[in-house]
C-alpha cells in the first residue's frame, strides 16, 4: 500500500515503507562498525552454524536488551563458545530485519570482555606506535650474513632457549649471549624492554622471543615499552613470538619476523653444511679452471717449441728469400715492359712534334718570311718597300720588297 489519505484524512504508510524509514533512520555512522559490551542471554547455536542471542545490560525493569545474530562465516573465527551469562564485546552494525519487524545487532567479531578490551587497547597502541614510526620499513636493518655472537632475549628456563641454542650449535656454532627476562605476567613488558636494552650493542644480531600461548600470554609483546625498545635497538632484531599465526606489535617493529624460535635461529646464521658444500664447489671450479688454463699454456709452449726447432728458422728464412727474389723478378719484368711501352709512346709524340715543327722545312731549302716578327702567310700581306726577315736553315737575311704579284698574276712554269 502506498502513501495516501486515510478515512479521516491523515497519511497512510505501508508496512514495507515504515520498515524502510526505520532502516534509513538507523543508517548512522555511530551504528555502523561499533563495539557493544553486554551479557549473553538466550544463546542458540543453530544447525546452520549461525548464532542467535541477545546482549543485555542492567537489572529487572531497567534491563536493556538488543537482539543479535552472528552468521556462520563470522562465527567460524570465534576462539571460544559463547554461553548465557558471559560478559562479551561484540563488533558489528545495527540494522532492521524486515520479516520480523525488529532491529538487531549483526555481529562480525566477538571476544570475552576482558580480552576484548585488551584487543581494543592493542589496536590503539598500534595506531599510536605507527604514528611514531616504530613500524617504518625504511628504518629496518639487514641481518648480518656471518655473525660472531647472537644475543637471545627470553626466559632462561623455557624451551625457547634450548631450541635456539640447539639449532645454532648444529647449523653454525658461535657464541650465544643470554639476556634473561620473564615473558609473561603483569610486569613482563618492563623486564623484556630492559633485557633488550641490556643486550643492545653486545652482539651482531638479537633474537627476542617466547613460545606459543594465548593472546593474554603474548600480551606483554604488544606493550609500547617493548615495541619502542625494539625500534630503538641498534642491533638487528629478529622476533619469534608465539606460533606462525600469532602476530604481535613486537613482530611489526622487529627488523625480521620468524614464525618460531627455531626458525629465528635459522634466520640468524648461515648453514655451515651448505657453506662447506658451496666452498667445495668453488674449490672444484677453481681447480678445473686452473688445470684448463695450464693445459692451454702447455699447448702454446709446445707450439712455440716446434716453431723454434733447429733448422726450421733457417728454412723459413730461405723460403722468404726465395719469395722475395721471385717478387723482385716479377717487378723487373713488369717495369721493363712498362718502359718499352712508354718509349714507343714518346717516339710517336716526338714524330708528331717534328712534323709540326715550322723550322723543319728550312733544311730542305725553304725560307720563313717574317714581317714585324709575324710570319707572312699571304702575298696580300705584303707591299712594295716592306722590310722582311728571311729565316733560312743556316742563318737569316733582311730584304726589301720591290713588287708583289698575286697568284692570278703568276703563271706556273709548266703553263
Helices (H), ranges, 133-187: 159-171
101 pLDDT tier (thresholds 50, 70, 90): confident
Between CA 5 and CA 292 the distance in angstroms is 106
pLDDT at 409 over 70: no
Average pLDDT, integer, range 263-273: 92
Q: What is the pLDDT of residue 355?
A: 67
Q: What percent of the residues of the chain are helix, what percent strand, and what percent coil, each to the nearest 5?
A: 45, 25, 30
Contact residues for 153 (Cβ-Cβ < 8 A; gap 6+)? 179, 181, 192, 195, 196, 199, 206, 207, 208, 209
pLDDT at 211 over 80: yes
User: Which whole-number Å values give the CA distances from 5 to 21, 206, 224, 328, 406, in the listed order?
Assistant: 19, 79, 64, 133, 154
189 pLDDT tier (thresholds 50, 70, 90): very high
1 pLDDT tier (thresholds 50, 70, 90): very low
Average pLDDT, integer, range 220-227: 95
Q: What is the pLDDT of residue 331?
A: 83
Using alpha carbons only, give the angle 85, 87, 122 rounded to the nearest 5 degrees. Answer: 160
Ranges 305-309, 332-336, 345-349, 365-369: which has the least confidence: 305-309
Residue 46 per-residue DSSP state: -
pLDDT at 117 over 80: no
Average pLDDT, integer, range 229-246: 91
Q: What is the pLDDT of residue 187?
A: 92
Q: What is the pLDDT of residue 230?
A: 96
pLDDT in tens, 388-397: 888 887 888 8
Name the average pLDDT for the chain: 84
Nearest partner of 238 among 211, 216, 260, judged by Cα: 260
Chain-centre distance for alpha carbon 225: 38
Q: What is the pLDDT of residue 146?
A: 93
167 pLDDT tier (thresholds 50, 70, 90): very high
Domains and CATH numbers, the chain: 4-119 (2.40.50.140), 149-272 (3.40.50.261), 360-409 (no CATH)
Q: What is the pLDDT of residue 311?
A: 63
pLDDT at 266 over 80: yes
Ranges 125-129, 177-181, 353-357, 383-387: which has the least confidence: 353-357
9 pLDDT tier (thresholds 50, 70, 90): low
pTM over 0.85: no
Q: What is the pLDDT of residue 408?
A: 62
Ranges 199-208, 232-241, 375-384: which has the least confidence: 375-384
pLDDT in tens, 19-67: 777 777 777 777 788 888 888 888 999 999 999 998 888 776 678 888 9
pLDDT in tens, 286-314: 888 888 888 888 888 888 777 766 666 67
Residue 79: strand, helix, or coil: coil
Do 229 and 256 form a contact (C-beta atoms < 8 A)? Answer: no
Torsion sign, CA atoms 340, 343, 345, 347: negative
pLDDT at 5 over 60: no
pLDDT at 2 over 80: no
| Total Cβ atoms within 10 A of residue 268 | 29
Q: What is the pLDDT of residue 100?
A: 76
8 pLDDT tier (thresholds 50, 70, 90): low
Between CA 199 and CA 187 the distance in angstroms is 19
Amino acid at each position: 500500500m502506498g502513501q495516501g489519505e486515510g478515512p479521516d484524512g491523515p497519511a497512510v504508510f505501508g508496512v514495507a515503507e515504515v520498515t524502510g524509514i526505520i532502516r534509513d533512520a538507523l543508517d548512522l555512522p555511530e551504528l555502523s562498525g561499533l563495539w557493544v559490551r553486554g551479557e549473553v542471554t538466550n544463546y542458540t547455536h543453530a544447525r546452520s552454524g549461525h548464532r542467535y542471542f541477545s546482549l543485555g545490560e542492567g537489572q529487572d525493569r531497567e534491563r536493556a536488551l538488543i537482539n543479535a545474530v552472528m552468521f556462520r562465516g563470522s562465527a567460524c573465527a570465534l576462539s571460544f563458545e559463547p554461553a548465557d551469562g558471559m560478559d562479551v564485546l561484540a563488533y558489528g552494525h545495527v540494522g532492521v530485519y524486515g520479516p520480523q519487524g525488529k532491529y538487531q545487532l549483526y555481529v562480525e567479531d566477538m571476544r570475552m570482555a576482558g580480552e576484548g578490551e585488551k584487543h581494543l587497547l592493542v589496536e590503539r597502541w598500534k595506531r599510536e606506535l605507527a604514528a611514531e614510526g616504530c613500524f617504518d620499513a625504511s628504518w629496518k636493518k639487514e641481518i648480518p650474513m656471518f655473525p660472531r655472537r647472537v644475543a637471545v632475549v627470553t626466559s632462561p628456563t623455557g624451551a625457547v632457549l634450548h631450541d635456539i641454542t640447539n639449532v645454532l650449535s648444529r647449523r653454525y656454532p658461535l657464541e650465544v649471549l643470554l639476556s634473561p627476562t620473564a615473558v609473561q605476567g603483569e610486569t613482563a613488558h618492563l623486564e623484556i624492554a630492559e633485557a633488550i636494552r641490556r643486550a643492545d650493542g653486545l652482539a651482531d644480531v638479537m633474537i627476542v622471543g617466547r613460545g606459543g600461548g594465548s593472546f593474554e600470554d603474548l600480551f606483554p609483546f604488544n606493550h609500547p615499552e617493548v615495541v619502542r625498545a625494539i625500534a630503538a635497538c641498534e642491533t638487528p632484531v629478529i622476533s619469534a613470538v608465539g606460533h606462525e599465526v600469532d602476530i604481535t606489535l613486537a613482530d611489526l617493529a622487529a627488523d625480521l619476523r620468524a614464525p618460531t624460535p627455531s626458525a629465528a635461529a635459522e634466520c640468524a646464521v648461515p648453514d655451515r653444511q651448505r657453506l662447506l658444500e658451496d666452498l667445495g664447489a668453488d674449490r672444484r671450479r677453481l681447480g678445473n679452471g686452473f688445470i684448463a688454463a695450464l693445459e692451454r699454456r702447455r699447448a702454446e709452449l709446445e707450439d712455440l717449441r716446434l716453431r723454434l726447432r733447429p733448422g726450421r728458422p733457417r728454412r723459413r728464412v730461405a723460403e722468404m728469400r726465395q719469395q722475395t727474389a721471385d717478387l723482385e723478378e716479377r717487378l723487373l719484368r713488369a717495369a721493363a715492359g712498362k718502359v718499352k711501352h712508354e718509349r714507343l709512346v714518346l717516339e710517336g709524340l716526338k714524330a708528331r712534334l717534328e712534323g709540326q715543327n715550322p723550322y723543319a722545312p728550312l733544311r730542305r731549302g725553304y725560307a720563313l718570311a717574317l714581317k714585324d716578327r709575324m710570319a707572312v702567310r699571304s702575298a696580300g700581306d705584303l707591299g712594295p718597300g716592306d722590310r722582311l726577315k728571311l729565316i733560312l736553315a743556316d742563318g737569316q737575311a733582311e730584304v726589301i720588297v720591290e713588287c708583289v704579284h698575286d697568284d692570278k698574276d703568276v703563271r706556273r712554269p709548266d703553263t
